[in-house]
Amino acid sequence: MNRLKVILPLLVVLLMVGCIRETTLTPYELPDLVKSYIRKVECFDNENALLVASDEGVMLLYGEEQVLYDANIYDELFKVEWSEAEVLYSQSNEIFWIIYDSTFIQMGKNTYDVHYDNTQFFAATQSYFAYALSNEGNLMRLGYWKEFWDQNSGSFYSDYYIGIYEYLGNNNNTWREYQTDITVNSKFLANPNFTVVANGDIILHTNPGYIITAYDDQGATADSVSRSGQGFKFRTATRPHLAASGNLYGMLYQPALLTPVTSMLSVGLTEDPVVEHVFEENCPFPMEHQGAVKLLDWKGDVVRFYVRQYTNSLSSNTDVIGHILEYDLLNDACSITSLSSGELLKWSESIVDVDILGAIVYIGTRDGLLIYDLETDEIDSYLLNLLELKLDQ
């Protein structure tokens, strides 16, 4: 009993003191720029990164870490025409690239750099460019550096020589040029769309296609792959994507509000012919839709698109504000998930841009950024949701 008289209070004290947990609520910069007109939403699902551009600036998200750029301070952001800007992101250096006309903006956690490209390119092809990031996150550009017409060929067409350009971004020289003897015929002249794959090879989704395994000042080492069949009609495929299955995918053109895509192209990396997968043949499209207006992401051979819903407040069904089209290109299986309207968003008219990160659809509207949870089918204000999320810290 005496032992207990000593041990009991001791045990109580130990229990009281030893069980205190600790948590910290950290002040954070409030991204109130997402309350204004949203101009662009770009999610990078595999990298868990997000860029949102509004009239007030740009918000970058790295997981839950946010970085804000106020356009009143970084005034070049006011000049970007976001509907025409291309956004690239590399996880290796956590830098976002915004490419608009001849303006290049690098944005990251501690990086903000603007460069205006004054380089004179070969005049006849100066608008035929394509951009992608290397595995190290450096910006690369493919274009044409020379046109050659062989007067003895009996052809009207020229050969255009592909140049590989690495971004330098200094005041004297924007690009380092690597001239190659890889050519496309002027009959197929188009943007030399390309992607850089994990082993560093550059895959050109042109006609013919090329797999560039090495390049230097002396030229490039590349394998040429002929492309024919249905895909022979195209001169290049935009947004090329090489899946682990070995299939190379792309689109006939970049989808947009007034020019939705209706199909995807697929071909084995070193095979022929190109196959066209027409959405209408496999997808249960709803009645009032405007087509697939944005490619959202890739998961292997499965691609997701945002399908815009045609609605207006006077005559249309107001239960749906849009759709997510999911197409398995290996099996030609397609499904469409409709996004339900809510108090915060009743019609699709005010939607400016949409992208998806995991199960969350980020919806940029004229009135601010909304989030749509695909698991609960609920729409919430991004800012309100953020204020609630802080509880979980």
Partner 1 sequence: MRAVLVILFLLGLSGVSSGQEADDDPSLYFFNPSELRSSIRHEMGMSVGTHWTKSPMRDVYTSVVDGVAYPEPVFSRAIGIISATYEPRLRLIEYKSDASISLDIPLTLSFSLVDVLSGSRYKYSAEPLTEQELASNIFSKERDGIVGICHVEAGALLSVNLGQGATIENTKTVGWTLSAGYNFVRGPLLMNFFEDYDKADYKSYLGWGTPVARVGIHADKIVVYYMLGITPTRVNYQTGSTFDVQTELTNTYNRLSLSFRIGR
Note the residues at the interface with partner 1 (CB under 8 A): 1, 3-5, 7-9, 11-12, 15-16, 19-30, 32, 35, 344, 367-368, 381, 383-384, 387-388, 390-391, 393
Q: Are β-strands 263-268 and 247-251 bridged in parallel, bridged antiparallel, or unpaired?
A: antiparallel
Q: How many CA atoms lie within 13 A of 252 on its CB side?
A: 16
Measure the CA–CA gap between 47 and 297, rounded to whole angstroms: 11
User: Rounded to the nearest whole angstrom, what is the least distance from the CB of residue 109 to partner 1 in the complex?
Assistant: 18
CB of 61 to partner 1, least distance (A): 16
The number of C-alpha atoms within 13 Å of 206 and in the hemisphere containing its C-beta is 31
Q: Give dist(CA 39, CA 32) in Å, integer.
A: 15
- Please answer whether residues 139 and 133 qualify as being in contact, where contact means their C-beta atoms are separated by less than 8 angstroms: yes
Helix runs in 162-311, H state only: 279-282
Nearer to partner 1, 19 or 123 (CB): 19
Cβ at position 52, least distance to partner 1 in Å: 16
Nearer to partner 1, 231 or 368 (CB): 368
- Give the angle 174-113-69 at the CA atoms, nearest 5°: 150
Cα 175 to chain centroid distance, Å, stands at 23
Q: Which of 38, 69, 67, 30 is nearest to 54 (CA)?
A: 38
Residue 5 gets which letter from DSSP? H
Query: CA 54 from chain center: how many Å?
Result: 17
Q: Would you say 8 or 214 has its CB closer to partner 1?
A: 8
- Least distance between partner 1 and beta carbon 20 (Å): 5
As measured in angstroms, the least distance from the Cβ of 106 to partner 1 is 24
Nearer to partner 1, 30 or 359 (CB): 30
| Matching residue, tokens 């051979």 | 301
Per the CB < 8 A criterion, the answer to whether 247 and 240 are in contact is: no
In whole angstroms, give the CA distance from residue 369 to residue 177.
40
Of residues 244 and 391, the one with the C-beta less far from partner 1: 391
For residue 364, give the amino acid letter: G
Give the H or E element holding residue 2: helix 2-18
User: Residue 124 or 383: which CB sits closer to partner 1?
Assistant: 383
Contact predicate 39/366, CB 8 Å: no
Q: Which two tokens stand for residue 27?
A: 């002040």
Residue 184 CB, nearest approach to partner 1 (Å): 51
Query: Measured from the CB atom, is 20 or 198 closer to partner 1?
Result: 20
Evaluate whether 196 touches 133 at the Cβ level (below 8 Å).
yes
Cα–Cα distance measured from residue 348 to residue 233, given in angstroms and rounded to the nearest whole number: 34
Nearer to partner 1, 335 or 393 (CB): 393
Closest distance between partner 1 and the C-beta of residue 22, in Å? 5
Closest distance of CB 17 from partner 1, Å: 10
CB of 38 to partner 1, least distance (A): 14
Which CB, 24 or 152, lies closer to partner 1?
Answer: 24
Q: 133: closest CA among 142, 143, 145?
A: 142
- Shortest Å distance, C-beta 12 to partner 1: 6
* Residue among 269, 147, 129 nearest 208 (CA): 269
Nearer to partner 1, 15 or 258 (CB): 15
